[in-house]
């Protein structure tokens, strides 16, 4: 009986040490983006009314770009690195929140680019909600 208890306890401890599933792009969006962009990504989050500039409707990114989803631009916008020289931008930098393991991704120019998996997951979620 003691061996069974020890075996079950050890199994429970080992399973607790396993890496949890990484959050989905939708989950990351719901945690970090809905305040401004709203649950459906249309730019009508609860903070939007108090902003000078209305947040973008994220469901029309592809439409605004000739029907193509501009992955490199979306990644750069979410990351925020390009806004370091524009301190008056309303959208904060999110790159530090979306760090993690790196994937190599073709962002449209044929060159494989290292992108943190959480950042890519959010961008792919945005691609999935295009109208």
Considering only CA atoms, give the Rg of the chain. 19
Q: How many other CB atoms are found less than 10 A from the CB of residue 41?
A: 23
Does any domain span residue 51?
Answer: yes
Does any domain span residue 93?
Answer: yes
Does any domain span residue 99?
Answer: yes
Tens digits of per-residue pLDDT, 42-95? 999 999 989 988 999 999 999 999 999 999 999 989 988 665 555 556 778 888
Domain range holding 52? 22-128
Does any domain span residue 27?
Answer: yes
pTM of the predicted structure, to 2 decimals: 0.80
Q: What is the CATH number of the domain that holds 111?
A: 1.10.760
pLDDT for res 97: 85
Is pLDDT above 90 for 17? Answer: no
Does any domain span residue 16?
Answer: no
Position of tokens 């249309």?
42
Q: At what angle do helices 25-32 and 117-128 cross, to 10 degrees?
A: 90
- For 12, the token pair is 């429970």
Does any domain span residue 5?
Answer: no
Instruction: Give the model's confidence band at 5: pLDDT under 50 very low, under 70 low, under 90 confident, else very high.
Output: very low
- Number of domains within the chain: 1
Does any domain span residue 62?
Answer: yes
DSSP of 54-102, one letter per residue?
PPP-GGGHHHHTTT---HHHHHHHHH-GGGGG-TT-SSPP-TTTS--SE
Does any domain span residue 13?
Answer: no
How open is the CA angle 56-107-42, to the nearest 5 degrees?
15
- For 57, the token pair is 């409707």
């Amino acid at each position: 009986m003691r061996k069974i208890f020890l075996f079950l306890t050890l199994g429970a401890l080992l399973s607790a040490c396993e890496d949890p599933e990484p959050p989905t792009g939708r989950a990351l969006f719901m945690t970090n983006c809905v305040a401004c962009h709203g649950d459906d990504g249309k730019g009508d989050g609860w903070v939007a009314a108090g902003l000078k500039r209305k947040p973008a409707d994220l469901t029309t990114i592809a439409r605004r770009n000739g029907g193509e989803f501009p992955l490199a631009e979306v990644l750069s916008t979410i990351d925020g690195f390009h806004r370091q020289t524009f301190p008056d931008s309303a959208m904060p930098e999110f790159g530090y929140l979306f760090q993690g393991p790196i994937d190599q991704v073709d962002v449209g120019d044929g060159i494989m680019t290292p992108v943190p998996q959480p950042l890519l997951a959010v961008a792919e979620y945005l691609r999935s909600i295009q109208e």
